[in-house]
Amino acid sequence: MGKTLIAFYSRRGENYVNGSIQDLKLGNTEVVAAKIKALLPEADVFQIDTTHEYSKSYMTCIEEAKQELREQARPELKNRPENIDSYDTVILGYPNWWGTMPMVCYTFLEAFDFTGKTIIPFCTNEGSGMGSSVRFIKKLCPGATVLDGTPIHGAEAQNADREAQRIANLAKQ
């Protein structure tokens, strides 16, 4: 087993959970990423983030996300790994925003060459599964092996031990 990077984008604060808006101390994707890290203690973790902050209001944030998608925006990364050359496997986590990944995940994927790497996506969502995100990851990273994604119902992130174990097992192969 080679070196593994767990890279994820997650939203804290107001989120849509089981039909209502709730204030989350940790975003659902961050919760699942921590579960995976506990199963893969040797893996490195990188939190994908933007230089600008989205609105704290969930309803405003989803409109901002929709606008970014319409514009095919590439939000600037707050920071980034120097390189990813030493990683064989990248576990990529994100919430489903408008049927795909947040646009900052596109920025992250376009910043590096993933040729020869295995990408294991997982996506927290409230019923829309992986959307078209896996197709876009394959398009953005043509030299990578992109595995089928693992959709995780966001409201169940705290209990997603089975899904985290599945992802960790894939990374160990």
Q: What pLDDT does residue 1 have?
A: 53
Model-wide pTM > 0.85: yes
Q: Which two tokens stand for residue 87?
A: 């990683």
Assess contact for 74 and 107: CB atoms under 8 A: yes
Longest dimension (CA), the chain: 43
Q: What pLDDT does residue 96 have?
A: 96
d(CA 45, CA 6): 5
Residue with token string 């390189």: 83
Residue with token string 């893969």: 40
Instruction: Report the chain (173 residues): mean pLDDT per 10 consecutive residues.
Output: 92 90 95 98 97 93 96 97 94 96 98 97 95 97 97 96 98 94
pLDDT digits (tens, 9 = 90+) for 77-105: 999 998 899 999 999 999 999 999 999 99
SS3 147: coil
Q: What pLDDT does residue 16 have?
A: 86
Residue with token string 């990578």: 144
Q: What pLDDT does residue 2 have?
A: 81
d(CA 146, CA 136): 10
| Among the listed residues 160, 163, 136, the one whose alpha carbon sits nearest the alpha carbon of residue 150 | 163
Q: Which residues pair with 145 in a beta bridge?
A: 118
Domain ranges within the chain, ordered by starting residue: 3-172
Assess contact for 40 and 4: CB atoms under 8 A: yes
d(CA 49, CA 64): 15
Q: What pLDDT does residue 168 have?
A: 98
Q: What pLDDT does residue 82 have?
A: 87
Fold (CATH) for 3-172 = Rossmann fold (3.40.50)
Counts for the chain of helices (H) and strands (E), in that order: 5, 8
d(CA 153, CA 122): 11
